[in-house]
Amino acid sequence: MVRTSFAGDCNGLILEQIKQMPQGGRYSVSHFAKIRLQSSAHFESGKFFILPSAASPSFCSGATYLVFIRTIEALRARGAIHLDYSTLEHLIIRDQRDGEGIWGRWNANGPGTARLFHELGLGPNFDNFEHAKPGDFMKIFWSRQVGKSEHGHSTIFLGTENRFGVQYVRYWSSNIPSGYGEKSVPRSKIAYAIFSRLETPANLARINSAPSVDTYLASLLRTRSSIAEASTKCGL
| Residue 207 identity (one-letter amino acid) | I
CA dihedral 82, 201, 54, 64 (to 10 degrees): 180
pLDDT score, position 211 = 94
**Residue 205 forms part of a structural domain:** yes
- Secondary structure (DSSP) of the chain: ----SS-S-SHHHHHHHHHTS--EE-B--SHHHHHHHHHHEEEETTEEEE-GGGS-SB-HHHHHHHHHHHHHHHHHHTTS----HHHHHHTS--SPPTTBHHHHHHTSTTTHHHHHHHHHT-S-EE--GGG--TT-EEEEESSS-EETT--EEEEEEEEEEEETTEEEEEEEEEETTTEEEEEEEEGGG-SEEEEE----GGGGGGGGGS-SB-HHHHHTTTSEE-HHHHHHHTT-
**Residue 27 forms part of a structural domain:** yes
Regarding beta strands 24-25 and 41-44, do their DSSP bridges make them parallel or antiparallel, or are they unpaired?
Answer: unpaired
Q: State how many domains the chain has.
A: 1
**Residue 3 forms part of a structural domain:** no
pLDDT score, position 49 = 78
pLDDT score, position 5 = 38
User: What does each of the 236 residues of the chain score in pLDDT, given as a tens digit?
Assistant: 333 334 578 999 999 999 999 888 888 888 788 888 887 877 777 777 777 776 578 889 999 999 999 999 999 999 999 999 999 999 999 889 999 999 999 999 999 999 999 999 999 999 999 999 999 999 999 999 999 888 999 999 999 999 999 999 999 999 998 899 999 999 999 999 999 999 999 999 999 999 999 999 999 989 999 999 999 999 99
**Residue 6 forms part of a structural domain:** no
**Residue 5 forms part of a structural domain:** no
pLDDT score, position 54 = 63
Question: Under a CB-based contact definition with an 8 Å cutoff, are residues 25 and 56 in contact?
Answer: yes
**Residue 229 forms part of a structural domain:** yes
Regarding beta strands 192-196 and 125-126, do their DSSP bridges make them parallel or antiparallel, or are they unpaired?
Answer: antiparallel
Structural domain boundaries enclosing 176: 11-233
**Residue 39 forms part of a structural domain:** yes
